[in-house]
Amino acid sequence: MLYRETGQFKTSYQSDQALFTITQDRFLVGAILAVAVFLIPFGINDYWSKSILLPFLVFALISLGLNILVGYCGQISLGTGGFMAVGAYSCYKIMTSFPELNLIVVIVLAGLCAAGVGVLFGLPSLRIKGFYLAVATLAAQFFLVWMFNKVPWFYNYEMSQITAPPREVFGVLVTSAEASPAAQYLFMLGFVIVFTWIAMNLVRGRVGRSWMAIRDRDIAAELMGVRPLQTKLTAFAVSSFYVGMGGALVFTIWLGTVEVTETFDILQSSFFVLFAIIIGGLGSILGSFLGAAFMTLMPVVLKVLLVDVVGVIPVTAKHIEFILVGSLIIIFLINEPHGMARMWGIAKEKMRLWPFPY
């Protein structure tokens, strides 16, 4: 009833190929975008921006990137932190070497640098598969983080902690602490919207279909004429491009300062994002967003609930939080191994049959 598609006929090729073919979906996405673009910037403050919206958006972008590689192309990667670091440090080098360059261009260039490095570390994927590939990409994580900490050229021979210099985009300050939360939020949101749109189109087109063919059965895909070399390497390139831009945005917009060993540490980046897409749903755009929301917001929500509402002392709250987040992940995965995106699918199914779901 609530979600009925009956009677929605597609009468042209154009409407058949639309991103959202169902009226309700179009309406929902339109409403969310309208709130995100026109409403939130007026009510945003530092806390909402720095602690909730920016981390959610940036991790959504990074999860999207990793989902392309893991979810769509089936290549497991544990090098996410390393590729984020490439994005952040190349962004810093480009920003400080060419101060006049527009920040949007800088971030896209940083993504391209990460894409190059991603292709390099993706080469072993042609020979090794599954867990063995995961171990090989782990090398990217450790090597890249070590390199950015070790070679002083990357941090301009100063302290190893890099800080984003103030930069304006279209006359509005977006980096450094003086930037308004609304400007930073809109800048980040712009990236997320544009690149989500690109990803949605990529995965349903020729490139995306060849990724999925490789994922589902590589030998069969090869027999049908999908070239494993190009397909796997484009997946690594596109994925690292997204992850690298994410790293650059973490550095410039969200944190403003980065210490490579901590920010891009394996637990806080590589595993964090991998968990996000597993919980959200592998091979799903929506899943990347839901997973990023779960992983970034759950600790904050639990902290607010336990400390401010229930009145538990902070350290006990932290211990409870460790236990709860861990058990929530397990509960989620037992109830729905295909992630939160699948749960949303089931919810849609129920709404279709409402008020008599079964």
Tell the smallest beta-carbon distance from residue 245 to another protein (Å): 19
Distance from C-alpha of 225 to C-alpha of 196, rounded to nearest angstrom: 28
Residue 323, interface with another protein (CB under 8 A)?
A: no
Closer by beta carbon to another protein, 17 or else 268: 268
Instruction: Compare residues 34 and 347 and give the one whose CB is closer to another protein.
Output: 347
Does position 339 interact with another protein (CB under 8 A)? The reply is no
Q: Are 140 and 124 in contact (CB under 8 A)?
A: no
Site map (CB under 8 A) of another protein, residues 127-166, x = contact: ----------------------x--------xxxx-x-xx
Of the two residues 24 and 160, which places its CB atom closer to another protein in the complex?
A: 160
> In the chain, what is the greatest distance between 2 CA atoms, to the nearest angstrom?
67
Which residue lies nearer to another protein by CB, 16 or 178? 178
Helices (H), 225-357: 228-249, 260-263, 272-280, 285-303, 314-335, 340-353
Q: Which of 319, 326, 327, 353 binds another protein (CB under 8 A)?
A: 319
| Minimum CB–partner distance for residue 97 and another protein (Å) | 13
> CA 1, CA 354: separation in Å to the nearest integer?
5
Binding string, residues 167-186; x marks residues near another protein by CB under 8 A: ---------xxx--------
The amino acid occupying position 299 is: P
- 216 part of the interface to another protein, by CB under 8 A: no
Q: What is the CA radius of gyration of the chain?
A: 21
Structure tokens at 145: 């983080």
Least distance (Å) between residue 155 CB and another protein: 10
Candidates 12-20, 114-122, 285-293, 309-317: pick the segment binding another protein (CB under 8 A): 309-317
Which spans in the chain are helix H? 13-16, 23-34, 40-43, 46-47, 54-67, 80-97, 103-122, 130-150, 181-204, 206-216, 218-223, 228-249, 260-263, 272-280, 285-303, 314-335, 340-353
Size of the site for another protein (CB under 8 A): 44
How many angstroms separate the CA atoms of 155 and 145, rounded? 13
- Residues 246-265 touching another protein, rule: CB under 8 A, are 255-257, 259, 261-263, 265
292 vs 192: CA distance, rounded Å: 13
What is the contact surface with another protein in residues (CB under 8 A)? 46-47, 50-51, 55, 96, 149, 158-161, 163, 165-166, 176-178, 255-257, 259, 261-263, 265, 268, 300-301, 304-305, 308-309, 313-315, 317-319, 322, 335, 343, 346-347, 350
